[in-house]
Amino acid sequence: MGPDVPLLNDYKQEFFLKRFPQTLLGGPRFKLGYCAPPYIYVNQIILFLTPWLWGGVGTLLYQLGVMKDSCTAALSGGLMFVTALALQMTNLYAKQKTVTVERMQIQNTLTDEDEFEFSSCVGSETVKFIIPGKKYIINTVFHSLLAGVLCGLGTWYLLPNRITLLYNNIGGTVVIFVFGWVTICIGEYSLIINTATETATFQALDTYEITALMRPFYIFVFIAVDLAHRLLVMFLISAGTAIASYFIPSPLGVILFMTGFGFILSLNLSEIGFALKHTMISHLASSKAKNAHRGLRIQFGWREFIFYVAVLAFALTEASLLHQFAGSSSFSQARPQAIASYILILLLVIMWILREIQRVYLFGVFRNPFYPKDVRTVAVFMEKQRRLMKVGVVRRILLTLVSPFAMIAFLSLDHSLQNLHSVSVSIGFTRMFRMVWQNTENALLDMVVVSAAQMLVFNPDLWWNRSLDTGIKLLLATNRALPARVPQVGLLRDRLLQFLSKLHFAIAILLTSWTEKKQRRRSSAALIALNVAFFPVLLALVAVSALLSSPLLPLFTLPVFLVGFPRPLRSWPGPAGGTACVCSDTVYYRQLVPGLAAALQSALAAGGLGLSLPGSHYLCRFQDRLMWILVLEKGFTYCGVNIKGLELQETSCHAAEAHRVDEIFEMAFEHQEHTRILSPNPHFGHILTPCTVVPVRLYSDARNVLSGIIDSHENLKHLKDDFVKVLVWMLVQYCYKKSKTWESPGSANKNKQESFPENQHSGAVKGSRALREEDSFSVDTVEDWTDESDIFDFEPSSRTRDRKDPRQLGLTPKVHLSIPGSIETQSQDFLHEMSPEDKLNRAMVLGLPAVDKGKQPEVLPRVEFSCSYSELLSIPEEWRTAPVPSSKVSEMRQRFPEEWYHFVLSQLDFFHLKEKPSSLLTDLMKDQALKELYIHGVLSCCFGLFGLDNAVPAPRHVFRAYTGGIPWSAGLDWLTGKPELFQLALKAFRYTFKLMLDKASLGPVENFRELVNYLEGYESDWYIGLVSDLEWQQAVLQEKPYLFSLGHDPSMGIYTGRVLTLQELLVQVGKLNAEAVRGQWANLSWELLYATNDDEERYSIQAHPALLRNLTVQAADPPLGYPVYSSQLLQLPLF
């Protein structure tokens, strides 16, 4: 990527210059992609200034003393309401007027807009263009009424006398009056005329026309400060639990109510409800319903139910007893609440220490001396991690059982609950009794801050301890789920953490825009200078963004910062895991996600991933796989996460950032032998901070170049002989498994006759047959052509399609079979209409042997076995009908590995037979007829894959045979006509190729027993095939221990082998700066949904190793991002 990559291409720049003024002014379209009459712009200006006109009338009457301020507001609002309603009625009239004859609109794909043809100043086309109208009648009335209210309140709010009394400055009054009315005009235009596209579109479709209410809502918020400042208090008590606690007369009842509901609301209620539903279905539904739900995983059972009931009972008992018998009237060192404060401080220190020593870096800065060094294998890591695992168990107990009860004791002993409770007590304590369970670590920190402040100031007459109760003090330190309160204790804990994270993100963008050469643009120096010169403004933007809990939006990921629109922590609408760009790589993530979730469960419970909150992001790395983890929710003993998988085929941008991720993890986990104790993090300041490694059962991917093996003449020379042995073993195993369905030789004969009829013959072929659907070139038909045959004759239409069955051909009338290239027809008259050249082009094959015309196809005789049980291992007769010369059969008899054949038979046990002779295996080995069947079967497969040539196969032929892409031949045509045999032959060849590789790397096979072990291992533990096979994906999901695939790189001319090995390996986990992710996602949303900048080579999607910009874009939900896998909400139990 060069420094001159455009932020927007030429067309998008023109589009943006049209859209941005429209958004800024609330909807007027003053720049179109085509020529429009002047009255289009004049009409829009008049409608834009209409609210100011009616407000000006009211303001003038008020300034002249004709009307009071309230009457003035009512007059202006009424006029605006009538105007808005009239405009909407005008739009409805224009639509009805043109409903029968609709003017065709010309769509221009270059301008991405509709071109309108205007006829007059007030024509129907003009009205519909300027005033699109509302979708629903109710919105027509509601938005008009809201427009009148907004105009009336704006008139009252911007009365010049009120502004002058407030600021006592004429110049300030004029400025506020002018810009205030411009703001109201913008809000009114978007509400009743035309709504502009918002710069932060959360959902692509606005079904209920909510976007039109956004600008008026912001105006109402500012005006409401003067109208209803006391309504804020009433809004705060709208929470159901807080209201209920306010009306409970007994302080003890309040304590029990808040403790119980705080615990219940912190549980995973969706999982509990699902478990209860499943229990009811299993008891009441039919057996079919029971079986349908039997495979579901239920994480909430009787053990969890008893545990939660016991914890709730103990919490209620503790709270009631402490409140009743040990409650204090004020805070002092000798009171029980002070003792509880010391306990909380001690617990906080211990839990912080136990959490930090679980991570590779202390506080993300210094290397942890207790963390295992040079972690490479699971065995070594688990041995070194054993002590830390014990520490994690201790921390889990302190976090789950000890800390919540200590905090309940602290809250129950507070003097605020001894007296008649107030609204502040209800709100503050209700929140904290829930936070004790739902977010224990943050609640513990909040209580320690309050208790430390209380212990520092013991005088009860001071403002801190006299005016504020503990509930309000704690309320001012809660997380972002609660609305902002008036700061009286200090900065909110969560907003302070957000401010630091956003500032880190802003400084990282600012510095890397110059230090990273590929990010350095011509404007970089000027932007850096502006940010340095206006650094206080930058800090103010960061502070406002943190206060509103909004993402800090870097425009095009340049050091140009804006306050983004507030949006949910997960940033995207819809349920988690609803969409993903599924491809062939998805299967690898589907396999590893269950194991990764189990490993994350242990790491989260032990504290190895640091302080995890809703909205936290983690990045996992193993070989070419990147897993993006988002914490969606968290409560008492559970955590909900979403796991995404990023693409495996690395582009240049993806590879650059993945290389930086690998470098960070390698420095943290694999290169520790030469580092000093408490050495600093060499990548401190990067948005990725390594946390820990977790053992996960997944596939390791090894790829090797097979040069020197596949092209070795010695290896290829033995390939055919090994193929014969493998094929013999596979055919015997196939027939043996099939024989397990037969109980005796008699039943075997019966089943055999049903499956492969020998004595059932069809009658004469009646009528004509359709044209043959496959190629007619087959050696088994050549014998029907003689020297006297005319090669230009059409073959009669009465030939059968079933000519491949020799038994059937034996009793059919004599027919003329086709030669290669011939075409069947039902009419002989067409022959005379063809020229000799057409006949020659129609059918011409050279070199085919001529045989006696009167020779009939040979019918295979019935096989006479010397052992009656040989029928159990007899291969289907149609598998030995390959048209091979008798000389090749004799040659195969000499090459046939008889000793290997006898050894394979000796390994059979026939346990499924109820009665069998003791000499069964010996009799089978002596049966020459059975041996002849296998000779013919093996020869048929060799003929199909290698032809009749005995030459050593070339590497290219081996590769094509492995992939099933062998060039067409008569033998292959016959073999593919037997799909089951073809699959067995292909499988045997792949096993043979894998055997050749193993012999080349591990040494030759010593004996038959070792060879059988190889083949049995391939059958049970391996999938040997192609990555593109559907069976490959099924084998991955079934967790086959090993998978092998052969590949070819035509550009380099090399053959490669790919081996996937299922084993427990270490996956590296790092924590991402959540605000950096939210900021980049906010820019992505703005850039694609508002500026429509979907250029694949745009600047904001290029590699940025310091911000991981390309990976962050990939991890966004589709259609803006493109993860190849996205899981559903995964509930991880943490205790």
Count CA within 13 A, CB hemisphere, residue 1064: 11
**pLDDT on residue 474:** 56
Among the ranges given (228-242, 713-727, 931-945), the one the predictor scored with the smallest mean pLDDT: 228-242
CA dihedral 494, 1079, 1126, 662 (to 10 degrees): -100
pLDDT by residue (tens digit) across 945-974? 887 777 888 899 899 999 988 888 888 888
Would you mind telling me the total number of residues written for the chain in this entry?
1135
Q: Are 198 and 23 in contact (CB under 8 A)?
A: yes
**Residue 264 predicted with pLDDT over 70:** yes
Burial class of residue 952, CB neighbours in 10 A (0-12, 13-18, 19+): middle
> Omega before 820 cis (within 30°)?
no
Q: Are 73 and 170 in contact (CB under 8 A)?
A: no
**pLDDT on residue 791:** 42
| H or E, element range at 621 | strand 617-622
At 12, the pLDDT band (50, 70, 90 cuts) reads confident
Cα-Cα-Cα-Cα dihedral sign, residues 314, 320, 323, 324: negative
Whether the model clears a pTM of 0.95, i.e. scores above it, the answer is no
Closest CA to 725 of 905, 888, 896: 896
- Residues 6 or more apart whose CB falls under 8 angstroms from that of 406 comprise 340, 343, 344, 347
**pLDDT on residue 51:** 94
Alpha-carbon span 865 to 867, nearest angstrom: 5
pLDDT by residue (tens digit) across 385-404? 888 888 889 999 999 999 99
Q: Are 750 and 795 in contact (CB under 8 A)?
A: no
- 3-class SS of residue 944: helix
- Residues 6 or more apart whose CB falls under 8 angstroms from that of 354 comprise 391, 392, 394, 395, 398, 607
pLDDT by residue (tens digit) across 176-206? 999 999 999 999 998 988 887 776 555 445 6
**pLDDT on residue 675:** 64
Alpha-carbon span 566 to 958, nearest angstrom: 61
Alpha carbon separation from 65 to 370, 591, 1083 (Å, rounded): 80, 79, 51
Above pLDDT 90, what percent of the chain?
Answer: 30
Maximum separation of any 2 CA atoms in the chain, in Å? 127
pLDDT by residue (tens digit) across 524-537? 899 999 999 999 99
Q: Are 724 and 896 in contact (CB under 8 A)?
A: yes
pLDDT by residue (tens digit) across 968-1011? 888 888 888 888 999 999 999 999 999 999 999 888 898 999 99
